[in-house]
Structure 1
Amino acid sequence: MGTHHFLTLVLVYFITRYQTEGEESPCMLSIRVPRNTSWRFTTLSGRINCSVNFCEQPSVRWCKVAQDNICNEINETDSLKTEWRLLTGTSGIFFLTFLNVTVKDTGSYRCKATANNSVQSVISHSIAVSVTDITSSPPVSSNSTSSNILSLLSLLLLS
């Protein structure tokens, strides 16, 4: 019984030593988007982002969450652009820029990172985007704008 106990201790010792002194643990791919992140766009353009940590530079994509909770991948268009900005050798920020924002852009968006030949894959928390109807504000009439400019010019000339 003493020999069995001794062999068990030796086995535990070598297993523990291999785990702590052996190969380093694999690097973990991660995305940082805080829960309940939301953006409100009231201008013609806007941008959302997700921060990514990695060991091997990942492939990062954006998707928009549909009503059935399926995330539909977004492709770049004239009104949607993506940009990867490397911060350090192991971190970066992935942007989704909305150009010519419309109310149809309202919704939940996520970014997804994949690395190591698709072995590692992570998806962010949702980012809520709301767009205020930009065209609903009353337009500035050209006549009032012209008269304001003429008033300013006359004041400057009289001074």
Structure 2
Amino acid sequence: SGPDCLLSLKVPRNTAWRARVTDVLMINCTVVMEPNCWENIAVTWCRIDDNHECRPLIHSNHTSTVWRSVSESERLSVLIFWSIYTQDAGLYRCEIKSPTPAVSHSISVTVTVKTPLSVEVQFSVIYISVFVVAVVLTAPLIMSRGVKKCQKDE
């Protein structure tokens, strides 16, 4: 990493992700830099708090980060929520401290509660399932009668 190692973080404005409670969610930040400059590059993730300050995330068994290589000059830093919860909703950013400090645009994360299927949908699923089972069970009987009838006709 030298003085000619210019980098940029690419996160489009208004990037938003939506997930349901307990889903796995992966959000990413694209890092672009000269191919020979990747040594000692560390991307950190932070969450914007109520005071509009970006607080570094403390990784646990709940979240982790990984690198994905896109090309020689482009990589993705991916923040993984292994089981997301409503309290994880908010604004996140990725940042690099050196060689040149850079901060991405905010990424909005919305977490929704899983809703149970409505009664109408549940009954529709039951009716369709019963119909499919009936067709599967009766089709061989109908086919075998057709074969016997053809044999009698001969």
Aligned pairs (5 A) from 1:57-72 = 57=38, 58-72=41-55
Q: CA shift at 1:51, angstroms?
A: 0.5
Structure 1 vs Structure 2 CA RMSD: 2.5
1:14 alignment counterpart:
none
Residue aligned with 1:156, SS: helix
Q: Whole-Å Cα distance in 2 between the matches of residues 139 and 107 of structure 1?
A: 27
Runs of 4+ in 1 over 4 A off after TM superposition: 143-151
Q: Whole-Å Cα distance in 2 between the matches of residues 114 and 92 of structure 1?
A: 17
Q: Whole-Å Cα distance in 1 between the matches of residues 97 and 75 of structure 2?
A: 14
Q: CA shift at 1:76, angstroms?
A: 2.5
Any stretches of 5+ residues in structure 2 without a counterpart?
140-154
* Equivalent residue in structure 1 for 2:89, among 93, 106, 120: 106
Overall identity of the aligned pairs, in %: 29
Aligned pairs (5 A) from 1:1-159 = 26-42=4-20, 44-55=23-34, 56-57=37-38, 58-116=41-99, 120-134=100-114, 137-138=115-116, 152-159=132-139
Residue aligned with 2:101, SS: strand
TM-score (norm: length of structure 2): 0.70
Q: Whole-Å Cα distance in 2 between the matches of residues 139 and 36 of structure 1?
A: 31
TM-score (norm: length of structure 1): 0.68
Q: Whole-Å Cα distance in 1 between the matches of residues 118 and 133 of structure 2?
A: 19
User: How many residues end up aligned between the 2 structures?
Assistant: 129
Q: Whole-Å Cα distance in 1 between the matches of residues 128 and 46 of structure 2?
A: 46
- CA deviation digits over 1:45-70, x for unaligned, max 9? 22111100124221011111111111
Contact kept in structure 2, 1:29 and 1:115, CA below 8 Å: no
Any stretches of 5+ residues in structure 1 without a counterpart?
1-24
Q: Whole-Å Cα distance in 1 between the matches of residues 96 and 70 of structure 2?
A: 16
Q: CA shift at 1:90, angstroms?
A: 2.3
